Structure 1
Amino acid sequence: MAFQQPSRKWRFLFCFQWIQAVLLFCSSHTVSGHIRYSIPEEMKKDSLIGHIAQDLGLDLKRLRAGRARIVTGESVQYTELKADKGTLVVSERIDREQLCGEAASCSFSFEVILENPMELHPVTIEVLDVNDHSPVFKKAHIMLEISESANLGARFVLDKRGGS
């Protein structure tokens, strides 16, 4: 069985795809690294989340010249990029329960985009739960009688009415 030369059409398509891949690689500048911030829920508007320019290793001139902006798919944008200061701040009060319900962890993500050359920087904000629902007891004092012979680590159920 003799080896056949690839057709001219196949060589052209392969070469064309190779050139596209090289041009795509050279024209786009993606940055590795993912920035993650953790903030408590319900921070006031304009509260500082982080110094994003410093964390990305960018100077303020690059943020302004690159027209840095936040792109998110969410209808509510909880953060704002202050390009003149290189900071990320809270733009909308974040209620963790409203955003994530009863989920154990709560976060949202977006990208900071810069132009000329194009750079995409993914950012994730983790929203930490603040115990804003303190327990309420009907009685100020609850009396429990516990025997000295009770086992170490034993649990005692409180009466639903707040004690006896």
Structure 2
Amino acid sequence: MFGLLFFVLMAHTAYGDVSYSFPEEMKRGSVIGNIAKDLGLDVNRLSSRKARIDTEGNRKRYCDINLNTGELTVAERIDREEICGKKASCVIKQELVLENPLESRRVNINVKDINDNSPLFKKDLIKLEISESAVKGARYVLEEAHDADIGTNSVQNYNLARNEYFDLAVNAKTTGKFYGELVLQKQLDREQQKEVTLILTAVDGGTPPRSGTVAIHVTVLDANDNAPVFSQAV
């Protein structure tokens, strides 16, 4: 009984992990690596040993093994943002199982981010109300854009379309995220122009870069900057 128990325990022992780095969104059937070669397995015995990729729990089987070549291939679309969100590291754990004798090897796939998402603003329109008495140099913080990608593939800069009244200052938070501020360069005059429309563009650092835009609608509020005037002196 002791000998049988020892054999069963040894049969289920994992003989070490193998790791691969692979970009997300690759086509189904794309080759990740030759797992048979990397683990020193006999390719000719993969079929007889019923080699297969298993998953833990209800997780998807993102990769498969080609029994003829020993290559590990993409079985399902891998979306890094769907699996790991904003985590800096995204590792998918799968398991290679072989029989006769029973053997398992852990397969770790490090999913690399690609620039497959554009910056997005929460709203299609940003509304601001600014008094015509606002002085030159006044600043107004703008809503930041969000990008599902990470690192340099996320938002890196903002651009403001040329206009008569405002410039844009781009600042970085302690978290590394960027945001923009409108800087008033010319005093507003409600009596001349009641509304100002601006276009703000967020740009990521991918290659090629992706961008997203939002309109800014500025309503100029009245200030008591005019005295009553009669049409004639007498």
* TM more than 0.5: yes
1:32 aligns with 2:20: no
| TM-aligned CA distance change 1:114 to 1:157, over 3 Å | closer
| Length-normalised TM-score, structure 2 | 0.49
1:49 aligns with 2:32: yes
How many residue pairs are counted as aligned between the two chains?
Answer: 136
TM-aligned CA deviation for residue 103 of structure 1: 1.8
TM-aligned CA deviation for residue 159 of structure 1: 3.2
Q: Is the 8 A contact 1:52 1:86 kept in 2?
A: yes
| Length-normalised TM-score, structure 1 | 0.68
| TM-aligned CA distance change 1:23 to 1:51, over 3 Å | closer
Structure with higher Rg: it is: 2
Question: Map of 1:88-107 to 2, 5 A cutoff?
Answer: 88-107=72-91
Counterpart selection for 1:78 from 36, 55, 62: 62
RMSD: 3.0
1:159 is aligned to: 181
Higher relative contact order (CA 8 A, sep 6+): 1
In structure 2, stretches of 5+ residues that fail to align are 121-157, 170-177, 183-198, 202-234
Q: Percent identity?
A: 43
TM-aligned CA deviation for residue 32 of structure 1: 2.4
Counterpart selection for 1:109 from 82, 93, 96: 93
Q: Point out the structure with the larger strand share.
A: 2
Counterpart residue type for residue 52 of structure 1: I
Q: Point out the structure with the larger helix share.
A: 1
Q: Specify the SS of the correspondent of 2:36.
A: helix
Counterpart residue type for residue 32 of structure 1: Y
1:69 aligns with 2:55: no
Q: Specify the SS of the correspondent of 2:53.
A: strand
Q: Distance in 2 between matches of 1:141 and 1:132?
A: 29
Query: For 1:10-66, what per-residue CA distance to the aligned partner results, in whole angstroms no more than 9, with x for missing partners?
Result: xxxxxx6x54554445x6263522101111111111111110110110121121210
TM-aligned CA deviation for residue 162 of structure 1: 3.9
